Amino acid sequence: MEFVSPEGLRLDGRRPRELRRINCQLDVLSNADGSAIFEMGNTKVLAAVFGPHAVTRRSELREEGALVVCEYSMAAFSTGERRRRGKGDRRSTELSMVIRNTLEQAVITELLPRSQIDVYVQVLQADGGTRCAAINAAVLALAAAGVPLRDLVAGCAAGYLDGTALLDLNYTEDSGGGPDLCVALAPRLDSLYLVQMDNRLPVDTFQAVMELAREGCRTISGVMRAALLEHTQRLAVARGITAAV
Amino acid sequence: MRPIELELGVIAQAAGSARLHIGATDVIVGVKVEVASPSPFAPTQGRLGVTVEFSPCASPVYQGRFGETYGEQIAAAIEASLAPSTRAGGAAAAAAAPANGGAAGASTSATATAAPTPSASGPSWGLDLGKLCISAGKTAWALYVDALVLNDDGNVVGAVSAATLAALVDTRIPKVEVTTDAAGEEEIELDDSPGAAWRLDVSRVPLVVTVAQVGSQCVVDLAAPEERCSSSALHVAVNRAGQVCGATSSGRAGVEASMLLAMTETAQRLAPGLWEQIMRFLQSPAR
């Protein structure tokens, strides 16, 4: 299969270094303390944050910082072929751990000792890059919940197919057999909170792909920041703190 | 009833989908169709599967496996309302006397179905699963209705039922042609063009209305805090003609026998209007 046409266009018409259309919605659920929907092309992920609240299981209480609990689940209708996957299968458990690990680094946990923050991620539509979209949705939901964050961490995937480094793979490209690199970056601190790669990749190509993914993270973080600012502004107007712009 | 907000086609990967808000209750229903083999007990019918899942986004209590049985209970009620024979026992539903409705399990969470008017062709209510058959005994469409509850502010059953109806209206099923080649092997050809797709006949799909007993009153569309005050609830499936197609009871205290008739009558009065309202919205040219 040809992933990049001779004209330099990908299967969905994008350029190799082009992201899909991003859409962020904040505070979409009324019950959660913070929630967000992060959309990237056909991938759509919902995240809800509850807390910080008292630790539910005493044995997990941490004196030095907050405990971050994460659960990732996929809706039965989210994938192309229907699969009853629910919660608790191996892939979901692994992803829960990956997201939890990333978020624990992003949250300034030492400000919230002896407390717990629940993050629930629900994939509504899956079309490649759910790992990164899940992180982005979770970060937005945390920000909406007012949890102190070190930086607006953003995740982005990049791959290497047909001798070209490709940004933000969709499902067809993801299952194309090439290497797939998933990165979460704190853009202002310039530190990588998550690096995951499958398949083999020469070191010099790896650097190119890595640089591309980081660039993607910075762009996504910018879009997320703009969405958050707009949302906060709308909230401020609604509560009569500032006049409408 | 609280105002209902409805959105269609929210899930691109599904054959049909709908998102419904009623109060703060928020559900998404996705319908998927795929070619499968029919059940050996009903070789000329398609398959139907309903699942209801509570997302932990609704509340942290749904973390892990909690809420799964509650979801299954709702799924059973919805599935029984969509197709008479899948879970309630095929022969029993067809042979049931044309009762005037109101047959309900008195114990908690028992399902009872009563056929209003058994007709000669197709089932008297619900979906005509016979239309989903592609090749008798070999292939048929499997219809999967998956509901995801994103927020629970009461009346989840009613919300899932209405969203399911809307998603079924939205559902497009690709056209297939069965050809027999020289060796006598049947081949199925799928026509993927949107113009060739057909839609389900939903005119006989009932809506499930939950009538709860609070004190000595019948109350519909309870919000979450009200639900905690109700002693029992009856989920009544009513079609557009006002006929009762099934009932499931749930709750802590059991339905009071003297209340039962009033509860079913409340549902019978409410459902046809709701049905027409949803349909009018779905068929309005503004959409």
Per-residue pLDDT of B35-57, as tens digits, reads: 888 888 888 888 888 999 898 88
Instruction: Give the C-alpha separation, B183 to B185, whole Å.
Output: 5
- CB within 8 Å of B169: residues ≥ 6 apart: B8, B16, B199, B200, B202, B279, B282
Q: What is the ipTM of this complex?
A: 0.82
CB contacts, 8 Å: A120 with chain B? 55-57, 60, 63
Pick the closest to residue A38 from A86, A80, A99 (CA basis): A99
Using CA atoms, how far residue A68 sits from A33, A40, A111, A123, B242, in Å, is 15, 25, 13, 19, 50
Residue of chain B whose Cα is closest to the Cα of A127 = B13
CB contacts, 8 Å: B30 with chain A? 75-77
- CB within 8 Å of B44: residues ≥ 6 apart: B38, B130, B133, B136, B137
Tell me the domain boundaries of chain A. Answer: 22-238
CB contacts, 8 Å: A93 with chain B? none
In CATH terms, the superfamily for domain A22-238 is GHMP Kinase, N-terminal domain (3.30.230.70)
B170 touches A: beta carbon within 8 Å: no
A221 touches B: beta carbon within 8 Å: no
Per-residue pLDDT of B129-178, as tens digits, reads: 888 888 888 888 899 999 999 988 889 999 999 999 999 999 988 888 77
Find residues 104-143 of chain B whose CB sits inside 8 Å of chain A.
none
B64 touches A: beta carbon within 8 Å: yes
| CA distance, residue A67 to nearest chain B CA (Å) | 15
Alpha-carbon torsion (A147, A153, A154, A155), positive or negative: negative
B50 touches A: beta carbon within 8 Å: no
Asked if the Cβ–Cβ distance from A75 to B148 is below 8 Å, we say yes
| CA distance, residue B64 to nearest chain A CA (Å) | 7
Is the pLDDT reported for residue B97 higher than 70?
A: no
Which amino acid, B206?
P
CB contacts, 8 Å: B58 with chain A? 29, 31
Residue of chain B whose Cα is closest to the Cα of A79 = B13
Q: What structural domains and CATH numbers belong to chain B?
A: 4-201 (3.30.230.70)
Asked if the Cβ–Cβ distance from B34 to A81 is below 8 Å, we say yes
pTM for the whole structure: 0.84
Asked if the Cβ–Cβ distance from B56 to A127 is below 8 Å, we say no
Residue of chain A whose Cα is closest to the Cα of B142 = A82
With b for 16 or more beta-carbon neighbours within 10 A and e for fewer, the A106-130 pattern comes to bbebeebeebbbbbbbbbbbbbbbb
Residue of chain A whose Cα is closest to the Cα of B224 = A31
Residue of chain B whose Cα is closest to the Cα of A141 = B57
- The CB density around residue B261, as the number of other CB atoms within 10 Å, is 11
Tens digit of each residue's pLDDT, chain A (245 residues): 789 998 889 999 999 999 999 999 999 998 899 999 999 999 999 999 998 999 988 888 999 999 999 999 888 888 877 766 556 688 889 999 999 999 999 999 999 999 999 999 999 999 999 999 999 999 999 999 999 999 999 999 999 998 899 999 999 998 888 899 999 999 999 999 999 998 888 899 999 999 999 999 999 999 999 999 999 999 999 988 877 66
Asked if the Cβ–Cβ distance from A82 to B150 is below 8 Å, we say no
Preceding amide of A52 cis, omega within 30? yes
